[in-house]
A and B are shown apart, each in its own frame.
Chain A
């Protein structure tokens, strides 16, 4: 904030010609600050202050005997050796490598199919694919949980009728894929709409010539449209990275269906929640939240960098 105070007098000490503008300029500065201020009051109170407070908490440790004491970065060192935290991050890394590419690829394919003008019922399809985004994550997980479930889920009913063993949705290995499916169902449409909106705003001259020359629609899509919407793709990937590492609703609700598989630390966010509210250890929860934020920033940064490299090469 000090830059604001410092910079204003600097402007007034400039050349005489400029100082004549000062009255109008000042009014404009005043208006700009007045317009920005309400947002920044909330922003500082709800983002910056909690962030700083979490940083402060993370440097302390509360023991049952001896009370709270300053431990420096010891908590971070502990967290980086904590198998529960690391296994959660590892699980999310698998999620990132498997689920996000499937989601973005399908979203891109659907967007291209809708944009190609080659299919009937395009508007209906677009709405139907997008509609799960309107369903709260809790309800989506409840629905899929019942669908997967052994009690009255249709999949279990079918396998039982056919005399097959029950489906493996809630097993140690199956659970991650069950959750991936829920997340895909919820967010493919959302990502599709982002990409589709970008495709619709491309000027048609960009590919009409290629079409006149007889290029097939898949060829036009691959060579012209996909490179042109790369910024939108980058946006969807970065949002997916942020979303993946914050996964909470799905494992939290799946816990009631398969407590032994989910446990307390299935995702880093679920772990932080349990540390804060079950173990009542606010300091360690702050450390986990901070580390999670750092992991997300690093991965997002890598995604941006690698995308810039691809852009430069082409």
Chain B
């Protein structure tokens, strides 16, 4: 593991240099200027790309179609087109099955994702800012350790974390999901790169001359400037926690603490087991559709942040 630390230290330094380019690119206006519309359009390329787009949309189209069908129609009608419209009944079944546990799962998912994302983003912002703006004893070493940890597969830590949590009595609690999700070494890396340019050294110096305390400079001046970067880390953690399956599967026993993925997977294996439970296929499918709608909508609206944030890590990583 010690080999990985000096090796992975290099990219961050380069990344910091590459960052100024990217700050400009974050603004849509600058992009529009740089690309005059005199290029020939290629119909061949457009048609080919639309075929590829079809590949990405077709499972989602199937999901929408399938959620409008009753369980019998799923088997008796062609999968890629509509049959009798049964969506409302399906939604009703999803929301009322097992005393409305689906709503509970959705609420749990929301709590896990929002608390983890806000917490992780704040921790990463504070640490990233400190690494970017202060030279302090041990700072380089701590940052190198953080970078080395990006390479550690989180899934490999989950089983030992479970055993430790079991000893501490933390399994099957909300903390079992939230605490491990708060540690995002990659978020610290992104925020260090971001903070290096987003917060002007002169601004910090001016604050010091005015006698503002170091921590107040962070909270009142820097935090606002760091916000776009923080939002990116927030989104990363939000999606990662919302989509996480491995960690809650291991940590949780009680169905009333499950997030959506674990709950849906449990329904699916019940449906797959056949027998009397088979009526569940349409329920699993409709539940899946309901589970992805919030995040898909959030994605479409927050698209801009993804791109600029990913550029931070990707330009010169």
Contact = CB atoms under 8 A, between A and B. Distances in A.
Interface of A: 1, 3-4, 6-8, 10-11, 24, 27-36, 38-40, 42-43, 45-47, 49-51, 53-54, 57, 106, 110, 113, 116-121, 124-125, 127-140, 142-144, 146-147, 151-154, 157, 185, 188-189, 193-198, 200-204, 231-232, 234-236, 238, 242, 245-246, 248-249, 252-253, 256-257, 269, 272-273, 276-277, 282, 285-286, 289-290, 292-293, 296-297, 300-301, 304
Nearest to B131: A36
A47 B137 contact: no
Interface string B105-124: 00000000000000000111
Contacts of A238: 151
7 contacts: A34-B215, A118-B42, A135-B296, A152-B75, A194-B310, A197-B25, A293-B153
Contacts of B255: none
Given A200-B307, A231-B317, A130 B182 contact: no
A116 B46 CA distance: 11
A128 B57 contact: yes
Majority DSSP secondary structure for residues of A touching B: helix
Nearest to A143: B59
B243 A154 contact: no
B306 interface: yes
A202 B272 CA distance: 50
A232 B317 CA distance: 6
Contact of B163 (A57, A136, A194): A57
A47 B307 contact: no
A39 B300 CA distance: 30
A121 B136 contact: no
- What 10 pairs across the A-B complex have the smallest Cβ distances? A7-B137, A31-B214, A154-B79, A197-B311, A32-B134, A35-B130, A232-B314, A138-B261, A39-B127, A201-B25
- Residue from B243, B260, B308 having most chain A Cβ neighbours under 10 A: B243
Interface in B242-257: 242-243, 245-246, 249-250
Contacts of A130: 299, 303, 306
Contact of B265 (A54, A193, A242, A253): A253
A15 to B, nearest CB: 17
B56 A54 contact: no
A257 B151 CA distance: 32
Contacts of A27: 213-214
Interface in B292-306: 292, 295-296, 298-300, 303, 306
B194 interface: no
A301 B3 CA distance: 9
A134 B308 contact: no
Given A42-B123, A200-B307, A300 B151 contact: yes
B269 to A, nearest CB: 5
Contact of A193 (B124, B185, B307): B307
Contacts of B310: 193-194, 197
Nearest to B264: A138
Interface of B: 1, 3-4, 7-8, 11, 14, 18, 21-22, 24-25, 31, 34-35, 37, 39-42, 45-46, 49-50, 52-53, 55-57, 59-60, 62-63, 66, 74-75, 78-80, 122-124, 126-127, 129-131, 134, 136-139, 141-142, 146, 149, 151-157, 159-164, 179-180, 182-183, 185, 188, 208, 213-215, 218, 239, 242-243, 245-246, 249-250, 260-262, 264-265, 268-269, 272-273, 281, 284-285, 288, 291-292, 295-296, 298-300, 303, 306-308, 310-311, 313-317
Contact of B151 (A125, A242, A282): A242
Contact of A29 (B129, B136, B141, B157): B136
- Residue from A46, A138, A202 having most chain B Cβ neighbours under 10 A: A138
Contacts of A197: 22, 25, 307-308, 310-311, 314-315
Nearest to B187: A39
- Residue from A46, A196, A285, A290 having most chain B Cβ neighbours under 10 A: A46
B215 A151 contact: no
A295 B15 CA distance: 26
Contact of A138 (B35, B127, B146, B265): B265
B265 to A, nearest CB: 5
Contacts of A10: 137
